[in-house]
Chains A and B, each alone.
Chain A
Amino acid sequence: MTDLQTRSGGPQGRAALRVVRRRRGLTASDVGVLVLTAFVCVAIAFPFVWMVLTSFFPTDELFDPTRLFPRPERATLANYALLLSGSNFATYMVNSAIVSVGSMLASVVISSLSGYAFSRYRFRGRQVVMVAILAVQLFPFVILITPMYAFFSELGLLNTRLGLVIAYVAISLPFASYLMLGFFETVPRSLDEAARVDGCGVIGTLFRVVLPVAWPGIATVGINTFILAWEEYLFAKVLNTDESMKTVQVGLANFFGEFTTRWDLVMAASVLASLPTIILFAVAQRRLVSGLAVGGVKE
Chain B
Amino acid sequence: MTLAAAPGRSARRRRAATPYVLLAPTVVMLTILFAVPAVYNVWLALHKVTPYDALGEGDYVGVANFESVLANPLTPLSARNTVVWLAFATVALRLVLGLGLAVLLQHSVLRRMRVLGVARTIVLLPWMVPPTVAVAAWKWLLDGRTGLVNKILLQTGAIPEGIPFFADLTWVWPSIVAVFVWRELPFVVISFMAGLQAISAEQYEAASIDGADGWRSFWHITLPNLRPIIAVIGLFITIGAFNNFIYVWLTTGGGPGTFTQVLATQLFTTAFVDNHLGGGAAIGLLMSGFMLVFAAVYLLTVLRRGDD
Give the B-binding residues of A (Cβ under 8 A): 3-5, 7-18, 22, 26, 30, 33-34, 36-37, 40-41, 44-45, 47-48, 50-51, 54, 62-63, 65, 68, 110-111, 113-114, 116-117, 120-121, 123, 126, 129, 132-133, 136, 138-151, 153-154, 166-167, 169-171, 173-174, 177, 196-197, 199, 201-202, 230-231, 233-234, 238, 249, 252-253, 255-256, 260, 263, 266-267, 269-270, 273-274, 277-278, 281-282, 285, 289, 292-293, 297-299
Contacts and interface: CB of A to CB of B under 8 A. Distances in A.
B240 interface: yes
A202 B277 contact: no
B49 to A, nearest CB: 8
Q: What 7 A-B pairs come out closest when comparing CB atoms?
A: A13-B204, A9-B201, A299-B240, A140-B243, A143-B284, A170-B33, A147-B37
A299 B245 CA distance: 9
A197 B34 CA distance: 40
Contact of A11 (B119, B196, B245): B196
A22 B113 CA distance: 11
Contacts of A154: 54-55
A287 to B, nearest CB: 13
15 contacts: A10-B103, A33-B109, A37-B115, A41-B119, A47-B141, A50-B148, A65-B151, A113-B25, A117-B23, A123-B16, A147-B36, A233-B132, A234-B245, A274-B128, A289-B190
A4 B195 CA distance: 11
Interface residues of B, number: 123
A145 to B, nearest CB: 7
Interface of B (DSSP majority class): helix
A99 to B, nearest CB: 14
A205 to B, nearest CB: 11
A23 B126 CA distance: 36
Interface of B: 1, 3-4, 16, 18-20, 22-23, 25-27, 29-30, 32-38, 40-41, 44, 49, 51, 53-55, 101, 103-113, 115-141, 143, 145-146, 148, 151-152, 154-155, 182, 184, 187, 190-191, 193-194, 196-197, 199-201, 203-205, 207-208, 214, 217-218, 221-222, 233, 236-237, 239-246, 250, 264, 267-268, 271-272, 277, 280-281, 284-285, 287-288, 291
The interface centre, meaning the residue of B29, B55, B105, B124 with most chain A CB atoms within 10 A of its CB, is: B29
Contacts of A44: 122-123, 125-126, 182
B54 A63 contact: no
Contacts of A37: 104-105, 107, 110, 115, 119
Given A15-B205, A202-B22, A274 B110 contact: no
B110 A34 contact: yes
B44 A26 contact: no
A63 B119 CA distance: 32
Contacts of A17: 208
Contact of B104 (A14, A36, A142, A282): A36
Contacts of A255: 136
Given A48-B125, A256-B136, 16 more contacts: A5-B111, A10-B107, A11-B222, A30-B109, A37-B119, A68-B152, A144-B41, A146-B44, A151-B36, A170-B29, A170-B30, A174-B30, A202-B22, A233-B246, A266-B136, A274-B129
